[in-house]
Amino acid sequence: MEFFKAEHIDKKFGDFNALSDVSISVPAGSIYGLLGPNGAGKTTLIRIINQIFAADKGELFYKGRKMVPDDVFDIGYLPEERGLYKKMKVGEQALYLARLKGLSRAEALKRLKCWFEKFEMQSWWNKKVEVLSKGMSQKLQFVITVMHNPSLLIFDEPFSGFDPINATMLRDEILDLREKGATIIFSTHNMSSVEELCDNITLINKSKSILEGEVLDIKRHYKSDVYEVSFIGDFSKIRDILNSKYNVLEHKMVKDINFVRLKMVHHNRDNELLSLILPHVHLISFNEVYPSMNEIFINVVESSNQNQM
């Protein structure tokens, strides 16, 4: 079931097309990645979901029905350009924003205490926001975003400004939130986080959606019949057997182990590679290489840019 759906969204700013005919469909309890180069329109789409802008065309659906403005109160939103009152104290501010979300003072205090302990932020309570480092205010903002247990979480570039330790912590929190039943949409440039977190993605380039689907399906779709094999045995013999069916892309030896990358010349559903080499060598490992999201991103964006030229 879709938790959230946007259909055929168009948005123009003056003569500039921010989004043209973009649709996304976010399954309940999933993590949905919005990818795309800078200026592609990701943030615009997020702001449309948050009712910050109205779309020129297209429709939004929330929990299976048409989205209404009040649905935003059920959303936790972490904007890309983080905003807090700089002169206000950390604790005071978190409490204020929690209460605006409708939590009682006691409940807000309880939850904040819990989150502050989790993120080791207790000592910041009486500090002013302006003295926090970027990473620290990112953490604070994250806590403020999730504190009221919203059913839909929208993170715009959640990992920017985090060091590896905090980024890992944040990643675990996001996974944990999904475990607890939240649906999450996040935009990012960080492709490794996409691999680790996302169930589905949409890739937006120059206002258009150029790729969408489940991460695994996409990877499968963009694989290029490349295999990695490692074995002990005679490499020249193997090369002769594979002959014209497989090209050797790379070969190296570490001690007596051969590492080979091979590409199938003509795509064939029946992969005979294993059966060809198995009788002749002592096989250590064999696997088909799936492209990384990073490679897919670069390939798809570049070819889409070339098509437009």
Partner 1 sequence: MNKIWLITKREFLTRVKKPSFIIMSILGPAIFAGFFALIFYFAATEDTDIKKIAVIDSTGAFIKKIPDTKYLHFEYLINIKVNDLKKILKKTDYYGILYISPIVSYSPRAVQLYSYQQPSLNVTQYIADAIEKEVRNQKLLAFNIKNLDNILKSVETRIDVETIKLSGTGEEKEINQGVRMWVAYFSSLLTFMFIFTFGVRVMRGVIEEKTNRIVEVIITSVKPFQLMMGKVLGVALTALTQFIVWIVLTTVFITIVKAAFMPDISTAAIANQPQNLMETSKLAIQVQQQAPQVSPELSQAFSILNSIDFYVMISAFIFYFIAGYLLYASLFAAVGATIDVDTDNQQFVFPVILPLILGVIVMLSAFQNPDSSIAFWFSLIPFTSPIVMMARIPYGVPYWEVAISMALLIVTFIGTIWLAGKIYRTGILMYGKKVSLGEMLKWIRYKT
Q: How many residues bind partner 1 (CB under 8 A)?
A: 31
Alpha-carbon 250 to chain mean position: 31
Closest CB to partner 1 among residues 18, 24: 18
Bridge partners for 24 per DSSP: 6
Smallest distance from partner 1 to CB 212, Å: 25
Smallest distance from partner 1 to CB 39, Å: 12
CB atoms within 10 A of CB 104: 10
**Among the candidate windows 2-10, 137-145, 166-174, 200-208, which touches partner 1 by CB under 8 A?**
137-145
Within residues 75-94, the interface with partner 1 by CB under 8 A covers: 75-77, 79, 81-88
φ/ψ bin of 198: left (φ > 0), alpha (ψ from -120 to 50), beta (otherwise): beta
Say how far apart CA 129 and CA 87 lie, in whole Å.
6
| Three-class SS state of 22 | strand
Closest CB to partner 1 among residues 89, 251: 89
Contacts of 119 (CB under 8 A, 6+ apart): 139, 143, 169
Within residues 98-117, the interface with partner 1 by CB under 8 A covers: 99-102
| Three-class SS state of 126 | coil
Residue 127 within binding range of partner 1, rule CB under 8 A: no
Within residues 10-39, the interface with partner 1 by CB under 8 A covers: 13-14
Smallest distance from partner 1 to CB 45, Å: 14
Closest CB to partner 1 among residues 144, 273: 144
Closest CB to partner 1 among residues 115, 246: 115
Indicate the residue type of 138.
Q
The one among 5, 17, 63, 96 contacting partner 1 by CB under 8 A: 96
Residue 53 within binding range of partner 1, rule CB under 8 A: yes
> What are the two backbone dihedrals, phi and then psi, of residue 69, each rounded to the nearest 5 degrees?
-55, -35
Angle (CA) 185-186-188 rounded to 5° is 155
135, 115, 134, 100: which is closest to 125 by C-alpha?
Answer: 115
Binding site for partner 1 (CB under 8 A): 13-14, 47, 50-53, 69, 72-73, 75-77, 79, 81-88, 96-97, 99-102, 141, 144-145
